[in-house]
């Protein structure tokens, strides 16, 4: 079954959904289907249960970070230079928002075919990072979605147990994001030792010793 | 990881009902010898009975995926050894397969045979040791494990003479393998494979109808077919529940379609079936090994057109998965045309198989948790990455 027929099947059965085929130029030829988050659970349930496909096995859930880019373009603008109107080139810079993406690789254990690849994107990378969880449809997504929440910061609505899974609970950031910067010291705590060191440093400065 | 400050906590069953008794929250691990690595389970007990169980992990997390994204494609091959450190060759193969799909690289015939031989040897030693560990968890202290390690030694010797390392093999390359088989290797491998049926007979005689093993495993941790599929369980754990899904048959990656082998299936989905399926799978691996060692052709071991240095696949993405000894091991790569992968993802079978642990354990005794966990077969290097 080609991706085009899968797309039309979904469109016929899930009213109102917005789908887009994302083509993959690499020799693997694994094209994917971008689905809209609002209908994701309905689409997933349809793909799992509908007869010709029966994608009962959600193998892999991946988070991908696409940070915003600065796009600079040259624009010609008419300007008054020394009282004469001239065409001047100007560089205009625009910042795109960027987004976080979640990719699901689906197989069928019953019919032994696959993969069918679904993608979903958040609106941006800051505070509109909510996506519906597909764990109620495929339980296998439970730990993998928790991992994406932990490492990328996507919030899965409807996930039964959304907690950090690999990093510790008090950890703040999302280390798999492209712009993550590792702190110098994860477990910095001021200790009495620091005061002693500071006094020793001052002493050395006073004494003129480096 | 939750912030557990105390190892044992008493919880009232329901607020204000003191006469009904209490639940006990126990932290099992991470230094418990039966947890197969630094793995913890938050267990809530009603007497000896499990009420709740939450697996806690991440102690070995080193962000393998991030490291690989800052490394060249070939540079992360040695890191894949460290995922499931019992089965480095199958990890290598899965990663090589994903890169080959991404860049459209063909693999020569001889390399395909070498890959199958090393992968099946890996499966054999993994299953043998797992059964050894499982029986050790049940209290059979040493004997079956040492028998398994004795046979594993023969396989590790083969790996050492082929790759230079016993466990961290770093052997597969994109488009083939790193070095050719040394002189006399095939004869040595044939002799080892010929000696394994006797070991399996001995192992089966020792264990299969052992009363203690049957009492401890039959009917313990039953995993239903439907739940196994929905929870994405793979590998021997899935097939013990009677689901006929093996990536070697379903995807026919490599040249697995040329070999006649059966997929052993369980009926009950209990711990005994998970043990038995592995034992039978080892016999099937031997069939594949005999055929592959007989038919291996001469020829190049790596595609000469593959670039080792300055390897830059075209933009795009690829997902490849194989039947690793622990289950369905997948690699997902996104290339942006540079020398590092833009996104590198490992689909770890051990992690996904842990999803069902709580459901398998609820209602059983504490001692059964150890056996059920042992039969799922996890390696923390892969769970935590």
Question: What's the rounded Cα separation, in Å, for the pair B29 and B359?
Answer: 19
Please tell me which of the candidates A64, A105, A169 has its beta carbon nearest to residue B334: A64
Contacts of residue A144 in chain B, CB cutoff 8 Å? 351-352
ipTM: 0.86
Partner-chain contact A112 B66, CB within 8 Å: no
Q: Does A166 lie at the interface with B, CB-CB under 8 angstroms?
A: yes
Residue A175 contacts B where some CB pair is shorter than 8 Å: yes
pLDDT value at residue A105: 92
pLDDT one-digit tens code per residue, B101-130: 998 888 999 999 999 999 999 999 999 998
SS3 per residue for chain A: CCHHHHHHHHHHHCCCCCEEEECCCCCCCCCEEEECHHHHHHHHHHHHHCCCCCCCEEEEEEEEEEECCEEEEEEEEEEEECCEEEEEEEEEEEECCEEEEEEEEEEECCCCEEEEEEEEECCCCCCCCEEECCCCCCCCHHHHHHHHHHHCCCEEECCCCCCCCCCCCCCCCCCCCCCCCCCCCCCCCCCHHHHHHHHHHHHHHHHCCC
- Residues of chain A with Cβ-Cβ distance to B4 below 8 Å are none
Show Cβ contacts of residue A70 under 8 Å, excluding neighbours closer than 6 positions.
A93, A94, A95, A96
Is B318–A164 a contact, with Cβ atoms under 8 angstroms apart? Answer: no
Q: Do A176 and B65 touch (CB under 8 A)?
A: yes
CB atoms within 10 A of CB B27: 18
**CB of B59 within 8 Å of any CB in chain A?**
no
Instruction: For chain A, say whether B3 makes contact (Cβ under 8 Å).
Output: yes
Nearest Cβ partner for B355 among A139, A151, A170: A139
pLDDT value, residue A186: 65
Question: Which of B229, B316, B354 lies nearest to residue A143, judging by beta carbons?
Answer: B354
CB pairs under 8 A between A and B: 117
- B245 part of contact set with chain A, CB < 8 Å: yes
A183/chain B closest Cα distance in angstroms: 15
Asked if the C-beta of B5 comes within 8 angstroms of chain A's C-beta atoms, the answer is no
- Comparing CA positions, the residue from B180, B174, B178, B177 lying closest to residue B105 is B174
pLDDT at A6: 84
pLDDT, tens digit, for every residue of B36-52? 778 888 888 888 888 88
- What is the full DSSP assignment across B282-323? HHHHHHHHHHHHHHPPPS-SB-TT--SSS--PPSEEEEEEEE
Contact: B245, A27; criterion CB under 8 Å: no
Residue B16's pLDDT band, with cuts at 50, 70 and 90, is low
The answer to whether residue B318 neighbours chain A at the CB level (below 8 Å) is yes
In chain A, which residues have their Cβ closer than 8 Å to the Cβ of B102? 26-28
pLDDT in tens, B49-104: 888 888 988 888 998 999 999 989 988 999 999 998 888 999 999 999 999 999 88
Mean pLDDT of the region B265-289: 91
Q: What is the pTM of this model?
A: 0.86
**A139 close contact with B: CB closer than 8 A:** yes
In this complex, the residue of B3, B231, B352 whose CB is nearest that of residue A169 is B3
Q: How confident is the model at residue B159 (pLDDT cuts 50, 70, 90)?
A: very high
Asked if B227 reaches chain A (Cβ–Cβ under 8 Å), the answer is: yes
Q: Does A172 touch chain B (CB under 8 A)?
A: no
Three-state DSSP class for B129? helix
Comparing CA positions, the residue from A114, A89, A153 lying closest to residue A33 is A114
Q: Which residue of B has its CA nearest to A30?
A: B318
Helix H or strand E encompassing B50: strand B49-56
Residue A30 predicted with pLDDT over 70: yes
Q: What is chain B's alpha carbon radius of gyration, rounded to the nearest angstrom? A: 22
- How far apart are alpha carbons B332 and B318 in whole angstroms? 6
Query: What ranges make up the beta strands (E) of B57-119?
Result: none
């Amino acid at each position: 079954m080609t991706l085009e027929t899968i797309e039309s099947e979904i469109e016929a059965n899930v009213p109102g959904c917005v789908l887009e085929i994302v083509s993959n130029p690499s020799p693997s030829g694994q094209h994917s289907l971008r689905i809209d988050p609002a209908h994701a659970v309905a689409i997933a349930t349809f793909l799992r249960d509908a007869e010709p496909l029966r994608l009962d096995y959600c193998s892999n859930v991946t988070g991908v970070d696409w940070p915003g880019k600065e796009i600079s373009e040259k624009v010609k603008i008419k300007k008054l230079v020394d009282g004469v109107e001239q065409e001047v080139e100007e560089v205009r810079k625009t910042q795109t928002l960027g987004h976080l993406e979640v990719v699901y690789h689906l197989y069928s254990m019953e019919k032994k075919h696959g993969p069918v690849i679904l993608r979903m994107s958040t609106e941006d990378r800051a505070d509109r990072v909510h996506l519906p969880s597909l764990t109620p449809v495929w339980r296998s997504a439970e730990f993998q979605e928790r991992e994406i929440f932990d490492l990328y910061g996507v919030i899965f609505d409807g996930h039964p147990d959304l907690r950090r899974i690999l990093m510790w609970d008090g950890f703040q950031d999302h280390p798999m994001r492209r712009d993550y910067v590792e702190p110098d010291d994860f477990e910095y705590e001021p200790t009495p030792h620091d005061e002693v060191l500071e006094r020793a440093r001052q002493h050395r400065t006073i004494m003129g010793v480096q | 990881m939750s912030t557990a400050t105390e190892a044992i906590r008493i919880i009232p069953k329901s607020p204000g009902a003191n006469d009904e008794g209490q639940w006990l929250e126990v932290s099992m691990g991470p230094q418990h010898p039966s947890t197969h690595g630094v793995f913890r389970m938050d267990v809530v007990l009603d007497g000896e009975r499990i009420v709740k169980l939450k697996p806690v992990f991440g102690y070995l997390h080193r962000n393998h995926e991030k490291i690989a994204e800052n490394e060249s494609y070939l540079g992360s091959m040695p890191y894949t050894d460290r995922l499931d450190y019992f089965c480095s060759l199958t990890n290598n193969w899965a990663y090589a397969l994903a890169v080959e799909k991404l860049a459209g690289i063909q693999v020569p015939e001889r390399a395909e045979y070498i890959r199958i031989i090393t992968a099946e040897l890996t499966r054999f030693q993994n299953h043998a040791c797992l059964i050894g560990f499982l029986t050790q968890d049940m209290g059979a202290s040493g004997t079956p494990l040492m028998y398994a390690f004795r046979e594993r030694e023969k396989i590790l010797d083969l790996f050492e003479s082929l790759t230079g390392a016993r466990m961290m093999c770093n052997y597969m390359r994109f488009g083939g393998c790193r070095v050719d088989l040394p002189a006399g290797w095939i004869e040595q491998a044939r002799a080892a494979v010929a000696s394994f049926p006797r070991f399996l007979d001995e192992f089966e005689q020792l264990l299969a109808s052992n009363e203690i093993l049957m009492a401890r495993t039959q009917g313990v941790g039953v995993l239903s077919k439907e739940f196994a599929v929905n929870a994405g369980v793979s590998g021997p754990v899935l097939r013990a529940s009677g689901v006929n899904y093996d990536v070697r048959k379903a995807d026919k990656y490599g040249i697995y379609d040329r070999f006649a082998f059966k997929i052993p299936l369980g009926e009950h989905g209990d711990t005994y079936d998970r043990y038995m399926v592995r034992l039978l799978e080892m016999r099937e691996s031997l069939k594949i090994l005999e055929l592959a060692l007989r038919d291996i052709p001469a020829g190049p071991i790596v595609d000469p057109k593959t670039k080792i240095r300055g390897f830059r696949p075209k933009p795009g993405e690829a997902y490849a998965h194989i039947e690793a000894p622990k289950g369905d091991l997948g690699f997902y790569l996104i290339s942006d045309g540079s020398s590092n992968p833009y996104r590198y993802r490992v689909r770890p079978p051990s992690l996904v198989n842990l999803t069902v642990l709580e459901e398998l354990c609820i209602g059983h005794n504490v001692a059964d948790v150890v056996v059920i966990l042992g039969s799922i077969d996890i390696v923390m290097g892969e769970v935590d990455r």
